[in-house]
A and B are shown apart, each in its own frame.
Chain A
Amino acid sequence: MTDTKKHIINKLLVRVLVLLAVLAVLDIIYYFTLYKKDLDENTTLMEISQRANKGIDIVYLGESSNFSYAETDTDRRFICMMIEDSLPGHRVGNLSKGACHAGIYYDILRNIPKNSDVKTAIVTVNMRSFTSEWIYSNLETPLRKEQIMLKKAPALYKRMLLAFKAYPIWTEKERSTLIRRGFKRQTFVLPHPFPYRNANEWDHGVGYNCILYNGVQPSMDSIALACHHIKHFACTLDDKNPRIKDFDKIVKLCKKRGWQPVFNILAENVDQIDSLCGPDLLYLLEQNVKYVTDRYESQGVIVVNNLRAVRDADFFDRDFPTEHYRQTGRQAVAKNVSETLKKRLY
């Protein structure tokens, strides 16, 4: 290397060092000036974590299933409130946010203050959250954006990640391609010969032929609903599923923080699934619930299986598979959770 090159490299190295020092100072300035504002504007998750304040010994992490929707409900309490009411002497903190999934729950749990009194973490397991339909949903981008500010990193670095858009941004077309490709990878296994190998094929089969599993030719609305169910449940879970990996991380975190994890498998509209998609989809759903139960019970997690706890009439939404329950549905889920906790924990 020539002397000139050495000189240039030395000169550049000195400037890189000065730049690093400048960045360190800027980080401090940013932390004390704009960080709080950015945190408030760009993530709600930190505020949710902070709800686990002193005195709260149980945290309930859920999505929209926790809330009340029906105007006719006389009991508008959330599931977490019902659980609290049936566990005297315990305080349940509501750490719920609509459209959340295990990846977000992990971040919320991770940011619970170290000095909190939490002993038990009830985490909802939404069986719809495992397929590509949810993994690549358009709600994912804002959630991933929110996660950035929760990272364990210098404030300025996190703001830089936000500024340089270090989260996935999909166009509608890209998103739909990703979902389709995801379906093709998420194959499923049934104990008998079946014409479809994955949700993509099944969805196409039902959607194009407009005939249900039992040969019935129903209305277009029913076909659309059947396809929605297929896209949300037709898969066989394994440890490669990103949501399973998130739940694994939650279990590890709970162990590390000394909390008892409780997985609350949410009720799905099995009556509707049965009538529209037949026993095959139900079989897959049951198998996936079994997979989750076996996998996490063996790791010391208390798993509450609510899959069949709510009947068709107690589901609020009629044209899309959701976990929005009427009051009797919420009461049933809450009762199962609290009774399991009483039996196995308190």
Chain B
Amino acid sequence: MPPKFNPIKMLFNSIEFLIFFPIVTLLFYLMPHKWRWLMLLAASCFFYMWFIPKYILILLITILIDYSAGILIEKWKDDIPRKKSCLVISIVSTCLVLFIFKYLNFCSANLVALAQHFGWSHPQKILDIALPIGLSFHTFQSLSYVIEVYRGNQKAERHFGYYALYVMFYPQLVTGPIERPQNLLRQLHEQKELQYDNIANGLRLILFGLFLKMVVADNLGAYVDKIYENPFAYSSGDILLGMLFYSFQIYGDFFGYSTIALGCALTMGFTLMDNFKTPYLSGSIQEFWRRWHISLSTWFRDYLYIPLGGNRVTIPRWALNTLIVFTVCGIWHGANWTFMIWGFTYGVLLILERGLRNIHLFDKIEGKTGRTIINICNVAKTFVIVTLLWSVFRATSFGNLHDLFTALFHNGAMNNQLQVAPIAWIALTLFIITDILIRKSRFDVWCGQQKTLVRWCIYTFLLFAIIALSSVEQIPFIYFQF
């Protein structure tokens, strides 16, 4: 009897996926349009069940709730109280699943701590359950459907298979991009023809995504782990380097995953939304959040920030809205106070940024060079802030964070211990160069604009780097835990 879960996970950078992906793509084009949804749904189920099979039931429950809610909301479109209660039931039940699996233990542990603080006895009940892969992502995708149907922007999907596929579409099932029904559900119904450009661009994206994950993120990740595991063993320089590496590790890791997801979908003719647009070239925190994890930040904008009043409220109310949205965004990432503080700090920074907007310190500087210098300074300032905040995000606890900063400020005299392999530096440099090159267009488009020989040199290099220069250590996708 085979084990009930597979020891070799079907990650995008696994050998199983290298077999799964071409088979599914080939079957997709071989099948007549009317059966493609079934094949894709079966493939998506297979993909999901490769992790922990029984968790498909959780997904099925969410799908059933929101599918029914969508139909009922549309049916009662003129009966506002019923329509609203239907929306509320759908949101609460979908979020309840998320709460049980992701936040229940966290809440329980904090209640116990609080009870102990006041000297009350409170038995701690810990649920021994693993977090279903990508739960936060498909929960949000499901919610976006119900809300859009409620708002009348999307017709309720009557075909259960298509709706299930919208939630489970394998390229973006586990870590997004968090799609909107207007984009993905519509495309799932469309008949996709075999197009050379889609295949070529999709494969380019997959190649580039694998490079980002396996060569850049994983090669840097090994050093980051060492630093965060035992910060006191390293000098201040090492720790700063570790923090810098983590900024690029998390970017390479998540950008890589999203790029592969986009590529897989594109080979079948589906266009998913871009999740990143050179975020580290942002001149402000606000700009950073327009370019980082776009599908999540726009989700919060559309479904939380605007319903709270958005910009069209008094300044104190706007500040409160901003704090709420970013704190929730922090909690979304994980059940840990560090995530909450990380999100809250971004909220505070955005408020400060808006407050300082009217102070025009550099307005007198004129000329292209002057403006360029200011832009570079702004980019550097934003990057430093983002990097500092990533350390809050990466720390396993406040204790870990405290250790990191204590070591940072006390180990200045210590000799550097971190022996960084040349490949890590090369990967980092190439990543920065590529990020600058693709600031105006996506990698696949930029690559397609190059001459054939240059293009093939790029493919050859990426292929060689992925196979021969990637890390041999198992470093999971960071966003898988969310």
Residues of A within 8 A of B8 (CB): 165-169
Among candidates A30, A42, A166, residue contacting B15 with C-beta atoms closer than 8 Å:
A166
With an 8 A cutoff between CB atoms, is A313 at the interface? no
With an 8 A cutoff between CB atoms, is A185 at the interface? yes
With an 8 A cutoff between CB atoms, is A34 at the interface? yes
Q: Are B459 and A169 in contact (CB under 8 A)?
A: no
Residues of B within 8 A of A159 (CB): 467-468
| Interface pick from A4-12, A213-221, A247-255 | A4-12
Q: Given the known inter-chain contacts A163-B214, A173-B130, please indicate yes or no for A178 contacting B3, CB distance below 8 A.
A: yes
A8-61 with Cβ < 8 A to chain B: 8-9, 11-12, 18-19, 22-23, 26, 29-30, 34, 38, 41-42
Q: Are A12 and B196 in contact (CB under 8 A)?
A: yes
Residues of B within 8 A of A12 (CB): 196, 199
With an 8 A cutoff between CB atoms, is B374 at the interface? no
Closest to A157 in B: B467
Residues of A within 8 A of B290 (CB): none
Q: Are B7 and A29 in contact (CB under 8 A)?
A: no
Q: Are B463 and A23 in contact (CB under 8 A)?
A: yes
Closest to B7 in A: A168
Q: Given the known inter-chain contacts A26-B467, A163-B470, please indicate yes or no for A8 contacting B3, CB distance below 8 A.
A: no
With an 8 A cutoff between CB atoms, is A161 at the interface? yes
Q: Are B196 and A8 in contact (CB under 8 A)?
A: yes
With an 8 A cutoff between CB atoms, is A145 at the interface? yes
With an 8 A cutoff between CB atoms, is A164 at the interface? yes
Q: Are A164 and B14 in contact (CB under 8 A)?
A: yes
With an 8 A cutoff between CB atoms, is A170 at the interface? yes
With an 8 A cutoff between CB atoms, is B195 at the interface? yes
How far is B464's CA from A145's CA once the two chains are assembled, in angstroms? 20
Q: What's the nearest-Cβ distance from chain A to residue B156, in Å?
A: 35
How far is B194's CA from A5's CA once the two chains are assembled, in angstroms? 7
Q: Are A185 and B467 in contact (CB under 8 A)?
A: no
How far is B13's CA from A236's CA once the two chains are assembled, in angstroms? 39
How far is B423's CA from A163's CA once the two chains are assembled, in angstroms? 15
Residues of B within 8 A of A11 (CB): 196
How far is B199's CA from A8's CA once the two chains are assembled, in angstroms? 10
Q: Are A164 and B13 in contact (CB under 8 A)?
A: yes
Q: What's the nearest-Cβ distance from chain A to residue B108, in Å?
A: 19
Interface of B (DSSP majority class): loop
Closest to A163 in B: B470
Q: Are B214 and A181 in contact (CB under 8 A)?
A: no
Residues of B within 8 A of A18 (CB): 456
Q: Are B467 and A156 in contact (CB under 8 A)?
A: yes
Q: What's the nearest-Cβ distance from chain B to residue A105, in Å?
A: 22
Q: Are A165 and B15 in contact (CB under 8 A)?
A: yes
With an 8 A cutoff between CB atoms, is A139 at the interface? no
Q: Are A42 and B472 in contact (CB under 8 A)?
A: yes
Among candidates A30, A164, A177, residue contacting B468 with C-beta atoms closer than 8 Å:
A30
Q: Are A22 and B214 in contact (CB under 8 A)?
A: no
Residues of B within 8 A of A166 (CB): 8, 14-15
With an 8 A cutoff between CB atoms, is B164 at the interface? no
Q: Given the known inter-chain contacts A11-B196, A22-B460, please indicate yes or no for A162 contacting B472, CB distance below 8 A.
A: yes
Among candidates A22, A163, A181, residue contacting B466 with C-beta atoms closer than 8 Å:
A163
How far is B464's CA from A89's CA once the two chains are assembled, in angstroms? 50
With an 8 A cutoff between CB atoms, is B361 at the interface? no
Among candidates A30, A161, A173, A181, residue contacting B464 with C-beta atoms closer than 8 Å:
A30
With an 8 A cutoff between CB atoms, is B18 at the interface? yes
Q: Are B15 and A164 in contact (CB under 8 A)?
A: yes
With an 8 A cutoff between CB atoms, is B474 at the interface? yes
A145-204 with Cβ < 8 A to chain B: 145, 156, 159-170, 173-174, 177-178, 181, 185
Q: Are B460 and A165 in contact (CB under 8 A)?
A: no
How far is B464's CA from A159's CA once the two chains are assembled, in angstroms? 10
Q: What's the nearest-Cβ distance from chain A to residue B210, in Å?
A: 9
Q: Are A174 and B7 in contact (CB under 8 A)?
A: yes
How far is B1's CA from A265's CA once the two chains are assembled, in angstroms? 29
Q: What's the nearest-Cβ distance from chain A to residue B263, in Å?
A: 15
With an 8 A cutoff between CB atoms, is B333 at the interface? no
How far is B5's CA from A178's CA once the two chains are assembled, in angstroms? 9
With an 8 A cutoff between CB atoms, is B9 at the interface? yes
Residues of B within 8 A of A174 (CB): 5, 7
Q: Given the known inter-chain contacts A167-B8, A169-B7, please indicate yes or no for A160 contacting B195, CB distance below 8 A.
A: no
How far is B17's CA from A164's CA once the two chains are assembled, in angstroms? 9
Which of A8, A19, A30, A38 counts the most chain B CB atoms within 10 A? Answer: A8
Among candidates B4, B9, B11, B468, residue contacting A34 with C-beta atoms closer than 8 Å:
B468
B166-198 with Cβ < 8 A to chain A: 194-196
How far is B3's CA from A214's CA once the two chains are assembled, in angstroms? 36
Listed by A's residue number, 11 A-B pairs whose Cβ atoms lie within 8 Å are: A5-B194, A11-B196, A22-B456, A23-B463, A26-B464, A34-B469, A163-B472, A165-B11, A167-B8, A177-B4, A181-B4
Q: Which residues of A contact B (CB under 8 A)?
A: 5, 8-9, 11-12, 18-19, 22-23, 26, 29-30, 34, 38, 41-42, 145, 156, 159-170, 173-174, 177-178, 181, 185
Known: A165-B14, A170-B7. 20 other contacts (CB 8 A): A8-B194, A12-B196, A26-B467, A29-B464, A41-B472, A42-B472, A159-B468, A163-B13, A163-B467, A164-B13, A164-B14, A165-B11, A166-B14, A166-B15, A167-B8, A168-B8, A169-B8, A169-B9, A174-B5, A181-B4
A-B CB proximity, top 8 nearest = A168-B7, A166-B15, A163-B470, A164-B15, A160-B467, A8-B196, A162-B472, A169-B474
